Structure 1
Amino acid sequence: MNPRSMAAMAMCLGTLICATGCGDGRAAGMIITGDGRMMANTGENTRDEAVRTIVSQLAPRLAPHWRITAAIAELPEYIEDPRGEVGGDWRWRHATVAIGLIGDTQAPLPVSAADIESAVTDYLRPKVIRAQDHLSVVVHSVESAASQSPAPASTGARTYTIAAGDTLADISAAFYGTSQHWRRIAEANPGLDPGQLVPGTSIVIPPAR
């Protein structure tokens, strides 16, 4: 990824910590994201914003025949400023990133999996403590778009065919823009074991609320 693209990714996730309110009890203030949204200053929101940034910056390079999903398994920790000043930063001690590529297998992938892995690694490296040992990026799930068929229009739901390596968190991130709604998908699919997703299984993706 060129320096301008990487700078855009950094700006999108770059946050301003305000002095009003508090986050999860450890980090004071609110997060103001690159697009102007305000969120509680928590590890969950920091992770979701990182996922949104990765997807939003790489998706245009894959369009129109391919799309990308992303999920980060671990939550970051809030690291206080060692100088004792106000503020700190969210950083990962370990970060395991799953990148899924879904698209028309008849169309060539416009960006190689290696380039995508490199771009995500470069973006997250400053946010991971000892990234050379504790950052893992896996690109997987090349699947035909033909398998992504809509459910009956009356329900407003869609269907998705599980690919190898998928988790409900990254499926949630792909359809809702956040990994936090994975339970909604699980509830819409009775009998589905979130810990043992079987590739080739068709599941219902309920509409956004």
Structure 2
Amino acid sequence: MVALLTVLVLLLALRRGESELDAKISSAEKATEWRDPDLSLLGSCQPAPSCRECILSHPSCAWCKQLNFTASGEAEERRCGPAQELLARGCAPTALEEPRGRQEVLQERPLGSGLRGEGATQLTPQRVRVALRPGEPQRLAVRFRRAEGYPVDLYYLMDLSYSMKDDLERVRQLGHDLLVRLREVTQSVRIGEPPRPGRPPRPA
């Protein structure tokens, strides 16, 4: 009886932990999706003895490289802190090291359906260069539009052992139905098994 009660208590604790974790993940996803990241929620900036360690320690940290910024005998760690705090203590804005992530769009063709799906552009931008600062989230905006008639290749990848025999027969029976439904999306469709070395795939 005691063992049973112990198991139930453990299960309840695990269940509660999973629910709390799901809530935290959900909240984090919503924050990333709907508003700019709030660096104050990620912890706080702690002093560090060098510029490199300072910048890597937390995304809200900045480093003041101004000569004589620290008093005689004062630790170099005092150069590390939130930007507003360093400015308030007399650091010149031009002496502040506070790198931020940035994005550069390298290729951005407009969305287009092409000719019968050939040469279609369904996702834009196509190429983006992103510079990241450790711990600092970045938001990348993309646009997608499905092109009508875009070619579709569907391959079956299955376990061919005897235990999967029933499933394999079922997939074979559904092959025609899948083809019919896919042709409601595009006329350029092929169904076949994955290619093997030295042999092209067999379309159905």
Structure holding more helix per residue: 2
For normalisation by structure 2, the TM-score amounts to 0.25
For normalisation by structure 1, the TM-score amounts to 0.24
**Greater relative contact order, per chain length (Cα 8 Å cut-off, separation 6+):** 1
Q: Which structure has the larger Rg over C-alpha atoms?
A: 2
